[in-house]
Structure formats: C-alpha cells, structure tokens
Amino acid sequence: MEWRYPWIIICFGFILIFGVRKFLRKRNDTLIFKSSTPQLEANLFGRFDHKKKLWKKRMGLFGLSFLIISASGPQIGTRVKPVERKGVDLVFVVDVSISMDAEDVKPSRIQKAKFEISQIIKQLKGDRVGIIVFAGSGHIYLPLTVDYEAAQLFLETIDTKMIPTQGTSISLALNTGLTAFTEESEKYKVIIIVTDGEDHEGEAVARALAAARTGIIIHTVGVGSLSGSLIPIKSQKGVPQEYKRDRQGKLVTSQLNEVALREIAEAGNGIYVRFDNRTTGHRILIHAIDSMEKKTISTHEFSEFEDRYQVFAIISLLFFIIGFMFPTKKIQKDTWRGRIV
C-alpha cells in the first residue's frame, strides 16, 4: 500500500489527535449555566438525548477521517497493464574511411554525419537501432537495441581511425548490415548507408537489389559536396598536419559520388539524402521511417499501484449523511396518567 499525497495525512492527523479527546468527551456536567437548577435544565432538555448527540459528533468525525484518507490518495494492490512497443529495425552503416575527414562540410564529413544521425535517434519511438562501421572492411559496432542513450554514446566515439584497413567497400558494408538483423521477417528492416559514395568495389547496386527482393529498404546519405575537398591527415591529437597524396605525390581530392548513391537507393527501394552545410537531411529520413508500417517488437506487462480513494470517499459520504440525519430527540413512551386530558 502506498500514498499519493502522504503529507495530507501528516498535517490533518495532528488536528484529529488533539481534537478527538475534546470533541468526543462525555458530558460530565448537566448544568448549562453554573447558576441553573436541575429543574430548569430538565425543562429545556427534556426531549434532548445527549448520548445521541455524542454519536452524531462521532459520525462527523468518522466522515472527516475517511475524507482525509481519501484525499491522501491511497493506492492498494496492483493492476497489470499490457504495453506494446511498435517500430522497425534500423541499422546505420557509417563510413569511417579517411576521406570522411574532409572538411567541405563543416566541421568535417564524419562530424556532420554523427550529428545528423544523432538527431534521427532522438526522434525514434520504439524502433530498434544498430550501428555498423566500415572502410576497407565492415564491423557491427552496436547490435540492435532500444537503448537510445547507449546508441548516442557509441555514436559519439566513432572516428576515422577505428578501422586500419582503408578503402570504401559499400557492398561489404551492406553484407555486414544484413547480418545485424536477428529475425527472419524482412518486412520491417531499414538500412541507412552514410558515406561520401566512393565505392572502390562497385558491387553495391547488385547487393542492394538482392536485399530489396527480401523486403529490406535501403536509404543512402551522401556527406560532402560535389566540388569535393582535400583529405587532411591528422595527428593523434586530431590536428591536421598535411593532406593526403597519391603515389605520384599529387594531392587527392575527395568528391561526393551522388550518382552511385542514388543508384543504390533506387535499387533498395529507398531514398537518397545529402548531408551538407545548408540542409537538415535527417528530417527527410525521419519522415520516411515514420511513414513505414510498424511491427510489434515486444509486449510486456507493466504493474502499477491502483488508486482506491473512491472507496474511502464513499465511506466518508455515508458517515456524513448518517451524522446529518441522526436524530437527537429523546424517545418518550406515553404513560397512563389516570385521567383523560
């Protein structure tokens, strides 16, 4: 048993404790005034029953006591409430190759991608989310979970030094993304590929078509600009020291490959979105996720205390009604006086 407002009982309890003795004490003296006589009081209160008056007070006190208990919000017992959680399984496939350090999108491509993904996670309602990181190889970084705070923490630690094998293999990342799903049903599964689009193997479209045939939806997100940017090589402290060069010593410019990303999205029955300095592309993705049909991911029972103030309120009302209607008149029996009056 619990109380929703226990302070009410504490406050009014003192009033009842100090008032009960005086309120319910029995009538010791029978005189109204000190100078009155028993004959005067007998005439005035001949039809008044002091014991009934005492019970009338008691009814009012009982009603007030139960009213205070009712106002305190007693919660007795528990009730079981089924709760269903509906959503989709959402896997972010994040490019962590060194080209994501390019700064054509401020502060950098990887930081912009992390910010936009964070905004999407904040808007999720019941969906399970997972994270895959990839460069020359792909790895499951966060398995599917509904712990969005944990997902935010994992997302914050992503950087371009996580995978030593450099390159950008979107097809390999897609294969890794498919292994992140644990259930057989493919109807409610979404993969969001976040990359600059430089696919070094070129098999991503074929993999996207194969996944789409099973019902998986694949969205693609391009991070960067069409004009491209140089790729900074940073120190251990994150300070740019120089820019990446090819084998001939020329500076390498990383450009966003929108054509490839649009083809992958089209093959995966999804949409293409760009994360750049001007737009907030996460809103488009949130709308696409919200418009999907949701599945019941889990059902559990939630126990909570049940309010029982109504019972005490009814009892209080009954005591007040009885006290109001309780008669104080003394019942007198007619006696034969020996003559007809």
Top pLDDT among 70 and 261 is at 261
Residue type, position 198, single letter: E
Predicted confidence at residue 239, as pLDDT, reads 65
Helix runs in the chain, H state only: 6-24, 38-44, 50-71, 109-123, 148-156, 170-179, 204-213, 258-267, 282-290, 309-325
| pLDDT above 70 coverage of the chain, percent | 70
Predicted confidence at residue 45, as pLDDT, reads 62
| pLDDT above 90 coverage of the chain, percent | 13
Helices then strands (H, E): number in the chain? Answer: 10, 13
CATH number reported for the structural domain that contains residue 232 in this entry: 3.40.50.410
Residues 319 and 292 in one domain: no
Residues 89 and 221 in one domain: yes
Residues 16 and 118 in one domain: no
pLDDT at 133 over 80: yes
Decide if 286 contacts 122 (C-beta within 8 A).
Answer: no
* Residue 340 domain flag: no
Predicted confidence at residue 130, as pLDDT, reads 92
276-289 mean pLDDT:
79
Instruction: Write the pLDDT tens digit of every residue in 151-167.
Output: 999 999 998 888 877 77
Instruction: Write the pLDDT tens digit of every residue in 191-200.
Output: 999 988 766 5
Top pLDDT among 111 and 136 is at 111
- Overall domain count for the chain: 2
40-51 mean pLDDT:
64
* Residue 336 domain flag: no
**How high is the mean pLDDT of the chain?**
77
258-280 mean pLDDT:
86
Q: Which of 75-79, 186-190, 223-227 has the lowest mean pLDDT?
A: 75-79
Structural domain containing residue 115: 84-299
